[in-house]
Amino acid sequence: MVPNNGLWPERDVIGETRRLRLQVLNTSLLIAVVVGGLAFARTLTDAIDLGAWRVVVIAVVMYAGFIALLLARRLSYPVRALGFLGLLYLVGVIAFLSVGYLAAPALLFAGQSVLASVLFGRRVTLVILGMNVLTLLAVGALLSSGLAEVETTTFYDPSVFANWLRVTAIFAVFASIAVVSVDVLTTHLHQSLRDQAELIENLKGALQLRDEADRQRREAESQLRKEQERERSRHSGAGDTPR
């Protein structure tokens, strides 16, 4: 390991990673609240018109949860991040049980998995992916066995353009989360590479300065030895002179 001689600043890699993940979390929550609000408003209106009050309650509670996590900046990062992933999971499960296997619920699970990989890393992502796969199998088993039935498919009548707007809004939420996450990570990676390149250049400069200092020290020592030898020679010659 090359010592830091004050020629470049030391980097807190762990702290930077935490700040990066916090930035992704806050941005993702903001996207979920702002863009997801479009899908929430339309779902709420349709549910009220159809008298699906259970859907109304669930939608309100879920959306309020996203808002609360966005505003609760004093909560610890793990609590907010796990809360966000948990809400996405619940929304996906409810969506599957309410409208069946459609693109929008699948996107919820996909977006949650992508976000988990950014917020926590490989181990948590594998756990969440496994949980999502098991959940899909469980929901499929319930619906195919007749133990549970899809509440309504009216929300996603393909002949109504407004429903396509809702699906598009849901897609935009999680596509934006994925894009923002990758962009932030890529930017951080590029910055790290630039910092490493600068570190290498500083290291080269430090080595050159060290080599130059060693050369000057050797020259000074050689000159000093020569001066000492001449001085000893003069003293030796003076001592041999007869009185």
Tokens representing 127? Answer: 């756990």
- Which residues fall within 8 angstroms of residue 96, CB to CB, at 6 or more apart? 105, 135, 136, 139
121: left (phi over 0), alpha (psi -120 to 50) or beta: left
Helix/strand/coil percentages in the chain, nearest 5? 85, 0, 15
> Could you tell me which residue, 229 or 177, shows the higher pLDDT?
229
Residues above pLDDT 70, as percent of the chain:
72
Is the CB of residue 199 less than 8 Å from the CB of residue 5?
no
Mean pLDDT of 64-86: 92
Q: Mean of the pLDDT values across residues 169-184?
A: 65
Range from 33-37, 58-62, 196-200, 212-216 carrying the lowest mean pLDDT:
196-200
pLDDT exceeds cutoff 80 at 185: no
- Measured at the alpha carbon of residue 130, what is the angle toward residues 126 and 132, in degrees to the nearest 5? 115
Q: What is the pLDDT of residue 2?
A: 44
**Could you report the per-residue pLDDT of 1-49, keeping only the tens digit for each?**
444 545 445 556 567 778 888 888 898 899 889 888 887 888 788 778 8
CA distance 146 to 19: 47
Task: Give me the pLDDT at residue 7, please.
Answer: 47
**pLDDT score, position 51:** 80
pLDDT tens-digit profile of 100-142? Answer: 656 667 777 777 877 887 788 778 878 887 888 888 788 778 8
Across 148-165, average pLDDT: 59
Find all residues with CB under 8 Å of 55, minimum gap 6, and list them.
43, 47, 98, 151
Q: Round to whole Å and give the CA distance between 135 and 152.
A: 20
pLDDT exceeds 90 at position 239? no
Banded pLDDT at 84 (limits 50, 70, 90): very high
Q: Which of 115, 23, 99 is nearest to 58 (CA)?
A: 99
Q: What is the mean pLDDT of residues 198-223?
A: 83
**What is the pTM assigned to this prediction?**
0.60
Residue 81: its pLDDT value, please? 92
